[in-house]
Chains A and B, each alone.
Chain A
Amino acid sequence: MASSGSDVPGREPSGAVPTGPVPTGPVPTAVKIVVAGGFGTGKSTLIRAVSEMDALDTDEVMTDVSLGVDDLSGVEGKTTTTVALDFGRITIGGDLVLYLFGAPGQERFRFMWDELARGALGVVILADTRRLNGCFPAIDYCERGRLPFVVAVNAFEGAARYDPAEVREAIGVGAATPVVVCDARRRASAKDVLTALVETALLPSDA
């Protein structure tokens, strides 16, 4: 369907990256924060609590983002596998916009984290005290990649309340990593979690 396009005049030799015309409206630059955690820990809830738009989701085709990932060899033909990614947006100003991406928590989607984490300011790891081990994969990933992260214990109704210090001990993260209790449904609480994360990212990273 595409036209040939081979005769378009005025092209620069390939390799050059010319500056284009400025569009009429402002074009912001984007940054992102990843929201991770085990299944059902409230990732989508937290994103919805702060997003300025209805949280959207998109299907990522597994084989597209998994190119080069060794342990998927053998399933190259499985092109229909998709995983829903949900995300929200916060406009920081005219020239900066923050996206929040929910990272699928299941182990089999680990291959996606590299794209999600690339360039991220940091990671919010949501924890459910009834299933604390659900957040271990995300903690391991952040520690290996030296990504700033906070652990946010989502205070589910009906779950026993834990002191953040107890949770810190149970999951074995260092003192430099904030462990906070939140209610992912409440905007003020979600804002506190995000602020704690970005403040952590501002600290010198030699912990």
Chain B
Amino acid sequence: MTGPGMHEPHGPGPEPLDGDPLVRPYVITTGRGSLDTVRLDMISIIVSTRAEIDETTLEPEQVEIIALCRDAKSVAEVAAHLHIPVGVVKVLLRDLIGRGYALARAPITESPVGRDVLQAVIHGIQRL
């Protein structure tokens, strides 16, 4: 029963956890007129946000993306799984994000990267 009018994709969410250097705010577009403002990196993490979709308003590839991104995936992974160039995937994703079907989480791109992140990465590599 969840439809665009009932499920408010842009309602108030939890406060961003600014104190944690590993946590980034979700990046979401503010409407279809401003889709260009969604900056998607190859490692932006995409996750689907709706259980029910209206397939008639979506491209077949977008339906695939929504299914694929029930578990979070990077833009590059989406492109590889669907065998679609990254640039095309970004266009499809911007549309999905603008319509509330998906969220994108921006990667860490600060330079230099924070020490907490680097130390977490070293520990993660050593656990492999």
Q: Which residues of A contact B (CB under 8 A)?
A: 1-3, 5-6, 8-23, 25-32, 50, 56-61, 64-65, 82, 85, 87, 89-93, 95-99, 101, 115-116, 118-119, 121, 148, 187, 191, 194-195, 198-199, 201-202, 205
Contact = CB atoms under 8 A, between A and B. Distances in A.
Nearest to B8: A10
Contacts of B24: 29
Contact of A14 (B30, B42, B57, B105): B30
A61 B81 CA distance: 16
Enumerate the 8 nearest inter-chain pairs by beta-carbon distance, A residue then B residue, closest first.
A119-B109, A64-B87, A92-B124, A56-B80, A14-B34, A30-B43, A19-B13, A11-B31
A115 B86 CA distance: 12
- Category for how many chain B residues contact A: 35 or more
Contacts of B79: 58-59
Contacts of B110: 119
A5 B128 contact: no
B76 A121 contact: no
Interface string B75-117: 0110111010111100000010011100101111111110101
B85 A121 contact: no
A9 B100 CA distance: 12
A50 B28 CA distance: 32
Contacts of B123: 92
21 contacts: A1-B59, A13-B30, A18-B28, A18-B30, A19-B16, A21-B103, A23-B49, A30-B43, A30-B105, A50-B128, A56-B76, A60-B85, A101-B76, A115-B42, A119-B108, A119-B110, A119-B113, A121-B118, A194-B125, A198-B121, A201-B118
Contacts of B115: 202
A60 B88 CA distance: 9
Nearest to A98: B121
- The A interface is mostly helix, strand or loop, or mixed, namely mixed
Nearest to B54: A3
A202 B74 contact: no
B72 A11 contact: no
